[in-house]
Amino acid sequence: MNQNELATPLADSLAARILDAVDSGFDTQTELLQQLVRIPSQRGEEATAQDFMARQYRARGYAVDQWQIDVEKIRHLPGFSPVAVSYDNAFNVVGAHRARTQAGRSLILNGHIDVVPVGPLAQWTRDPYGAEIVDGWMHGRGAGDMKAGLVACMSALDALRAVGLQPAANVYLQSVVEEECTGNGALACLQRGYRADAAFIPEPLLPKLMRAQVGPMWFQVQVDGDPQHASAAFSGAGANAIEKAIFLIGELKALEVTWNARKKDYRHYCCHPHPINFNLGKIAGGDWASSVPAWCHFDMRVAVYPGQSLASARAEIEAFIAAAAARDPFLAKHPPRVIYHGFMAEGYVLENGEDVEAALRASHERVFGEALQEYSTSAATDARFFGLYADTPAIVYGPECRMPHGYDEAVNLQSVRMVTKTLALFIASWCGVEALAA
């Protein structure tokens, strides 16, 4: 099969058979997703879910590579984010389909198994790991973000197998950890040597083409205080570290405004309502209610535009905090410290991917009956690793998710079905097809 044949749209009869196969297998796909959602996989707890993925890949005849991430092997690579937690239980899983003919274009299907914390259970109306289906939505932490996408990748290939076909090129199904805090799981796949002609990430950002994404940065500000007995606080004795931190947090809002005003300089974000968010994600301080707090730490997630220097962003943050501290008599003599302990990611724009975009557009239009739309997001995905560091165009396109990272996260099952159909047609078009191996 030559490149011209690869560019030819799928025959209507073949496309119809593939779409019917997705429908026929969707009950099984839904049950598989329920099983996966019921396995908690927060940071440091992903191994059981990864064992589940490895079994699924192995049952389909894929070569399975399951390994513990070694931070020392990726620390020197571009895109690495600093870590402050143990990787003792951090395992990636890759299932590899090896084509016989190698006549098509290879593909990486990437998704993350890690999920964010559920928060107070009392605030959920349903068990966050119950995977209940109500009115066409599956509820649960990670149901949308992004276990539905991981299962869709397998199910799209299952649909091809159901009609006696398989991709005519190598396909690597990657189930990675650490997407929600560093991206080092995807980076470890690159370090491991996995490469392809394109990547596809079915993140739950709607069935639209993601054109651009910001680059998240995590930082922590450590503030000292002067502890005294609480009874003396009214007289000005001591310095309350929590109050000093609150002062700095308020000051940082001005920097957020400044960074958002720069959106006019970035064509993919000039019309975005608010691309840069300074999110106060965590704060802790003090040791005793009757003591003026001696310490306070607060964590923020901010973001940079595609093409913006991470080093310059860090320098601007540090200079801004130092200037704000200088206006406070106590902080001027006890300057706060800024450390980095998670995301340190560049922004990404999908470019030079006309061929892979064309394959997605044709597949989407056949399934949805309308033209593919695109957007730029103030969120981030692992697409940056492929596009920035592996010269690989990375498609981000996935189902509809309600309340990702919030209470009562849920994924729309009809959108999962439609995205799986698009993905199955895309794989057949991009990779080409050959008869199923005996």
- Gap between the Cα atoms of 68 and 84, Å rounded: 17
CA distance 210 to 213: 8
Model confidence at 230: pLDDT above 90: no
Model confidence band, residue 233 (pLDDT cutoffs 50, 70, 90): low
* pLDDT at residue 4 tops 80: no
Model pLDDT for residues 162-173, shown as the tens digit of each residue = 999 999 999 999
Banded model confidence at residue 234, pLDDT cuts 50, 70, 90: low
What is the tens place of the pLDDT at every residue in 257-294?
A: 999 999 999 999 999 999 999 999 999 999 999 999 99
pLDDT at 235: 61
Alpha helix (H) ranges present in 60-122?
A: 71-74
Whether 256 has a pLDDT exceeding 50, the answer reads yes
Decide if pLDDT at 367 tops 60. yes
CATH architecture group of domain 3-211+348-435: 3-Layer(aba) Sandwich (3.40)
Residue-wise pLDDT tens digits, 186-215: 999 999 999 999 999 999 999 999 999 999
Predicted local distance difference test score (pLDDT) of residue 10: 92
Predicted local distance difference test score (pLDDT) of residue 348: 98
Q: What is the pLDDT of residue 437?
A: 75
| Contacts of residue 292, Cβ cutoff 8 Å, sequence gap at least 6 | 225, 226, 227, 228, 229, 230, 233, 237, 238, 239, 240
Pairwise CA distance, residues 349 & 423, whole Å: 21
- Is the pLDDT at 3 greater than 50? The verdict is no
Mean pLDDT of 72-76: 97
Q: Is the peptide bond before 146 cis (omega within 30 degrees of 0)?
A: yes
Torsion sign over Cα 185, 191, 192, 197: positive
Domain extent listing, the chain? 3-211+348-435, 215-339
pLDDT at 317 over 50: yes
Q: In the predicted model, is pLDDT for residue 1 greater than 60?
A: no
Instruction: Tell me the C-alpha distance between 193 and 196, whole Å.
Output: 10
Say if residue 368's pLDDT is above 90: yes
Q: Please state which architecture CATH assigns to domain 215-339.
A: 2-Layer Sandwich (3.30)
Q: What percent of the chain has pLDDT over 90?
A: 95
Mean pLDDT of 75-79: 97
In this prediction, residue 7 has a pLDDT band, given cuts at 50, 70 and 90, of very low
Q: For 110-156, write each residue's pLDDT tens digit.
A: 999 999 999 999 999 999 999 999 999 999 999 999 999 999 999 99
Q: Give the rounded distance of the alpha carbon of 268 from its chain centre.
A: 20
> Is the per-residue pLDDT at 314 higher than 50?
yes
9: confidence class by pLDDT, cuts 50, 70, 90: confident
Give residue 201's pLDDT. Answer: 98
Residue 246: exposed, middle, or buried by beta-carbon count in 10 A (0-12, 13-18, 19+)? middle
Q: How far is CA 399 from the centre of its chain?
A: 14
**Tokens at 398, concatenated:** 């996935």
Mean of all residue pLDDT scores within the chain: 96
Give the least confident one: 136-150, 233-247, 357-371. 233-247
